[in-house]
Amino acid sequence: MTNQTTHPDQITIGVFDSGFGGLTVLRELLPLIPAARYLYLGDTARLPYGSKSRETIARYAVSSARFLLDQGADLLVIACNTATALALDDIRTAALPIPVLGVIEPGAQAAAKVTLAARESTGQTPGSQILVLATTATVQSHAYSHALARLSIHATEKACPLLVPLVEEGWIDHPVTREVARIYLSEALAEDRSINTLLLGCTHYPLLHPLLQQTLVDLGRPLTLIDSAQATAQAVAACFQQASPLRERKGALCTFYATDFTDKFERLGSRFLGQPLSGVHLIDLGG
């Protein structure tokens, strides 16, 4: 798949995340490109990526991308914010000649659109208008603030390392998670009154959407929440805009791979995918 005229029912889209959070991206892809075949890999044995060094993240992400290439992927979607932020160039080099799309640019563009519209309607002076919540590694890379700066928007970034394990635990509506979110948000928002948009810069955070929204209301700072899943799926779909009309297929063909805990992947992954998920293949990508 190297040009925009390739028909989606002839291609295999590889979707990669450090765990099952990237299923939120697959969830958005399925209705947009129902004719494609999908391979999803969650590197659950080596999760979390968000607390690791750039070198380690790049090594893990490249080996995961190579696995999907070996399985026949024609296009790769890096549905992991941390891997996109720290290793997109390494993955692109390793995956040549197939196209590789990450989540940072589409997410930044979606958030920029919202915040620029708010700026216009309120006549707000430019300040730090977007708050990005992400893993420690993503925040330290400043990938989101650089992407937003290219769109003339200044962002505040906040690392929220406790949120991934809380979501992994299934505590998506739990008093502990509410308190942790309250602390992170009040610390971040204290820095700037001009923030009007909250960008969820981690695959796990969309599951906390209702909890985060309520916490913002409780703090008296309601914001527009944006996540990159939908914007990324739209960017992938744009690759096929010029293709001929889709041939109908009853239900997309998805194959799932995980590097550990396939039962947990099936159980929690169903929440991220929004539908039951089964038959996950256990694979070994080494250390």
Residues lying near ligand DGL in the complex (CB under 6 A): 17-19, 21, 47-50, 80-82, 135, 138, 164, 202-204
In order of 80, 89, 189, 202, the CA distances from 134 in angstroms are 11, 20, 15, 5
160, 202, 239, 254: the active-site residue: 202
Whether 160 is catalytic is no
3-state DSSP assignment of residue 21:
coil
Which residues, listed in sequence order, are joined to residue 133 by a DSSP beta bridge? 158, 200
CB of 77 to ligand DGL, least distance (A): 13
CB of 83 to ligand DGL, least distance (A): 7
3-state DSSP assignment of residue 224:
strand
**Cβ-based nearer residue to ligand DGL, 203 or 215:** 203
CB of 103 to ligand DGL, least distance (A): 7
CB of 110 to ligand DGL, least distance (A): 16
8 Å CB contact between 203 and 25 = yes
**Cβ-based nearer residue to ligand DGL, 47 or 108:** 47
Distance CA 19, CA 156 (A): 26
3-state DSSP assignment of residue 277:
coil
**Cβ-based nearer residue to ligand DGL, 8 or 22:** 22
Length of the chain: 287
CB of 191 to ligand DGL, least distance (A): 22
> Two tokens at 235?
């960017």
Cα 180 → chain centroid: 21
**Cβ-based nearer residue to ligand DGL, 136 or 194:** 136
Of all residues in the shown chain, the one whose CB is closest to ligand DGL is 50
Distance CA 224, CA 198 (A): 6
Q: Which of 52, 41, 51 is nearest to 18 (CA)?
A: 41
Whether 239 is catalytic is no
**Cβ-based nearer residue to ligand DGL, 17 or 105:** 17
Q: Which of 138, 221, 215, 146 is nearest to 175 (CA)?
A: 215
Strands 253-258 and 12-17: unpaired
Catalytic annotation, residues: 80, 202
